[in-house]
Amino acid sequence: MSALLTVRGISRSYGGVAAVQSVDLEVDEGTIRAVIGPNGAGKTTLLDLVTGFTRPDEGSVEFCGHQLTGMSPRELPSLGLMRTFQSARLVPTLTVRQNVMLGAYRFTRARFFSDALRLPRTRREECELVVRADELVDFLDLRHFADTPAQDLPAGAQRLVEVARGLAAAPKLLLLDEPAAGLDDSETRELADVLDAVRAGGVSLVLIEHNMSLVLAISDRITVMDAGRVIAEGLPNEVREDAAVRKAYLGVAS
């Protein structure tokens, strides 16, 4: 199996403090890669570096044969790379359905004049977008929120909408920043099933998460970070048994 995403030796420091220090990460096609670690371990910074939100001091990111380093985040959706945020960044005034429709922006061909005059091309596209958005809204069990403005949703549900919005772009790889935060146990189990189905649908995932039961249940491989470094990497049961991990993270968490 070929690697979809390859991160090599990526580093970034802020004012002399290394937030991420020569981290390697590989994600294979059709797999879920979890990145875990205590708060401040550099997980979100790693996502920012991969998606070009933050420029790395050194190191490289390769995705599907494209060099991402130095690329604008705006170009990533068309390559098939999407992400969600730790605190969801939806458009608060738009409804859940409209937010998900916006996720498919990279497929939109109708542009200003067609939209202004509501030409047939726009109408056809709107229909397709609505159908697709509703499928995804159903898929994430957000049906009863479909017409609710995103700002009126609880934080946990907003994060799920972001997942739906990310999927609307039909990405090859979706980076999720703590999607389970704010969900209760049964909702977390449902999310695990959803992510399973996403993987089965051919979308690879990078999952940054605190919830160990979720991570252990669905990840194919796990990377453990602490203080900006990777301290362990492997299959879920390997990582669970790793002494360094127990000391740095699991011991504290459980």
Partner 1 sequence: MTSARLPMPVESAGRPTGVRTRPARLLLGVVGIAIAIALPYLVPTQMSLLVTVGIFYLATIGLTPLIGQAGQVSLGQTMFMAIGGYGAGFLTMDWHWPTAVAALVLAAFSGLLALVFGAGFLRLRGYYFALATLGLAVATASLSTAWISLTDGPSGLVGIPSLHLGSYAVFSDQANFYVLVVLGAIAAWITSNLRNSQTGRALAAVGNDSVAAGMLGIRASRYKATAFAISAVTASLAGSLYAFYLRFFSPDVVTVTVAFSIVIMVAVGGSRSVIGPLIGALVIQGLPQVGQTFSNWEPLVAGLVLIAVMTYFPAGLWGAVRDGVASAWRRVSRHAVAQGAGR
Determine the Cα–Cα distance for residues 99 and 90; give it in Å rounded to an integer.
7
The stretch among 8-16, 29-37, 190-198, 204-212 that binds partner 1 (CB under 8 A) is: 190-198
Residue 116 binds partner 1, judged by CB under 8 A: yes
Determine the Cα–Cα distance for residues 49 and 51; give it in Å rounded to an integer.
6
Angle, CA of 209, 212 and 213, to the nearest 5°: 120
231: helix, strand or coil: strand
Size of the site for partner 1 (CB under 8 A): 68
Closest by CA position to 61, among listed 2, 5, 12, 4: 5
Name which position in 89, 235, 237, 251 contacts partner 1 (CB under 8 A).
89
Binding mask 121-160 for partner 1 (x = CB under 8 A): -x--xxxxxxxx-xxx-xxxx--x-xxx---x--------
Determine the Cα–Cα distance for residues 173 and 204; give it in Å rounded to an integer.
5
Determine the Cα–Cα distance for residues 33 and 204; give it in Å rounded to an integer.
8
Name which position in 10, 173, 198, 207 contacts partner 1 (CB under 8 A).
198
Name which position in 106, 229, 240, 246 contacts partner 1 (CB under 8 A).
106
Summarize as ranges the residues that interact with partner 1 (CB under 8 A).
Answer: 51, 53, 72-78, 82-83, 85, 89, 91-94, 97-98, 101-108, 110-112, 115-118, 122, 125-132, 134-136, 138-141, 144, 146-148, 152, 165, 167, 169-170, 190, 193-194, 197-198, 200-203
